[in-house]
A and B are shown apart, each in its own frame.
Chain A
């Protein structure tokens, strides 16, 4: 009798606790999503209502914020979007090519000094970027690269992003060694083995790298701030910042409209590539 009661009690408790868990999770989720929802809603409100009308559903719609915001800065917003897009695409290509080459070398080939170089590579992952900042700036200035995209792009073609190398090394190490042996017996050298055997199998790791690169380069603020002075070359984050420089006009609606446009691609890529992102950061954290 008593056991039965406790059993019933226990079932009730777990069901109730499961319910409570969902309520708690939804509550936290709602709090976290609220700022984003407010941003979207404010981008559609007339300026006068943004800070007075607190409901997320605009009492009065003003989609004109998007059209006005598009032309509010020195150049149409399309200029900044295209600039950012070009930098992002080239960075993705650069990271994929250079990091996958290096990763294959580290993961699959045995050569003198491999351990040492690998340790060095891991070391650069920990190195705070600002230590290199001043000399790199001087070099780029001497090369006449200030106010160009080279300082932002060239490092990506030189496998300077150790995190992605590490990610790919982890992935390649998990592939069976027999693949390489089979390819070798069939007459493939390392380059063909890499190209025909390993590369196709690493597509998930490449997808992770591409998405991470997209998000970090799209959001990148410091590099463009440092190297780009001509407003025609500005990326989206630099352009957005100009909205607070011209704060006197207080065109909040336009600012939020363009902010939303700047976040939308990240959200889109996140939804499309969630699987790869979650797997990617989980593997780097675990091994």
Chain B
């Protein structure tokens, strides 16, 4: 055989399933390494059991009434019918959608804007990048959400600042009209991580494109529209998908801001926060599972729409 050396290690007795044992001379390439491959993946395979089985189990539970104490009872589509009627669920969808559709575009725009400013060899780039990136690592922590509560509190610094201009700021965190706004601001504050990805993408655009465009007399804006945007579009697309998926699943911000209630008046009742309340405060496990599947369908639908729309605006160079 062509590779006697690794045979003793790889295909020890009964390398079952591995067609390597056969004397197939026609494929002298590398032998299949089934045994080794599966061994390396062993932890992952076991981990997948913890993913695949719960995946289908939760689909089943979505059609049951289950409170953890008694065995689940099949109730067909009742959970989904209930979801159509449940005003709190509608509220949580509304909160999550507003949050996502306002904060994702704004934070991506901020990320792209600052990345553009940082792109062309700005002096002190590492310092700027660190300053803009750091908040995105802290944004999900309880400490920062707590901080936000007090910055936007009735006597917080935001209102003190507005006071200089004679504006009497609202109690941002206690007024249902504004509580979500503070969390949207928090989301925008974390624009650093898409920004770093944009920066890396911008660096891959060959400088000669801009030189050629400048010689042809294209303005900065024209260069941005005709070179930067098309060549960056796959990365904008990636960031968009990532941000949408994670933003639909926001939990900690709403929980900490409202002390777990989703208040004031449901204004920070994120979908996953309501799911948590249903599943783990009231032990409506079946309903919580149905909600989780509904969110999965929503996320899948938005991702699919984005992939379809991508044909019209995402440009792949190769």
Contacts and interface: CB of A to CB of B under 8 A. Distances in A.
B249 A219 contact: no
A219 B33 contact: no
Interface string B45-70: 01110110111011001000000100
A211 to B, nearest CB: 9
A196 interface: no
B21 interface: no
Interface in A93-107: 97-98, 101-102, 104-106
A185 B5 contact: yes
B248 A128 contact: yes
A282 B196 contact: yes
Contacts of A54: 157, 160
A263 B143 CA distance: 7
A190 B7 CA distance: 11
Contact of A51 (B34, B123, B156): B156
B256 interface: yes
B123, B131, B149, B275, most chain A CB atoms within 10 A: B131
B182 to A, nearest CB: 12
B6 interface: yes
Given A141-B68, A282-B197, A128 B299 contact: yes
B36 A131 contact: no
Contacts of A240: 142-143, 146
A267 B292 contact: no
A278 B193 CA distance: 9
B209 interface: no
Interface in A117-131: 117, 120-121, 124, 126-131
B112 to A, nearest CB: 13
A176 to B, nearest CB: 15
Contacts of A221: 140-142, 251-252, 255-256
A282 to B, nearest CB: 4
A201 interface: no
Nearest to A194: B40
B134 interface: yes
Contacts of A24: 117
Contacts of B238: 285
A15 to B, nearest CB: 13
A138 B61 CA distance: 11
B155 interface: yes
Contact of A130 (B8, B48, B249): B249
Contacts of A259: 143, 146-147
A243 B279 contact: no
Interface in A235-275: 237-238, 240-241, 243-245, 252, 255-256, 259-260, 262-263, 266-267, 270-271, 274
B279 A134 contact: yes
B37 interface: yes
A285 B144 contact: no
A282 B296 contact: no
Interface in B3-26: 3, 5-6, 8-10, 17
Contacts of A21: 117, 122
B146 A243 contact: yes
Contacts of A52: 155
Contacts of B251: 221-222
Interface string A222-244: 10011000000000011011011
Nearest to B199: A282
Given A22-B124, A29-B128, 12 more contacts: A22-B123, A38-B151, A54-B160, A102-B40, A111-B38, A124-B48, A132-B54, A134-B285, A135-B53, A136-B54, A157-B43, A237-B143
Interface of B: 3, 5-6, 8-10, 17, 30, 32-38, 40-44, 46-48, 50-51, 53-55, 57-58, 61, 68, 114, 117-118, 122-124, 126, 128-135, 137-138, 140-144, 146-151, 153, 155-157, 160, 189, 193, 196-197, 199-201, 204, 235, 238-239, 245, 248-249, 251-252, 255-256, 259, 272, 275-276, 279-280, 285, 288-289, 292-293, 295-296, 299, 303
Interface of A: 21-22, 24-25, 28-29, 32-36, 38-39, 42, 50-52, 54, 97-98, 101-102, 104-106, 109-112, 114, 117, 120-121, 124, 126-139, 141, 155, 157-160, 165, 184-185, 187-192, 194, 215, 218-219, 221-222, 225-226, 237-238, 240-241, 243-245, 252, 255-256, 259-260, 262-263, 266-267, 270-271, 274, 277-278, 281-283, 285-286
21 contacts: A25-B117, A28-B114, A33-B131, A38-B157, A50-B150, A101-B40, A101-B41, A102-B40, A104-B40, A111-B34, A111-B36, A128-B248, A134-B279, A184-B5, A190-B36, A191-B36, A244-B256, A259-B146, A263-B138, A263-B144, A285-B235
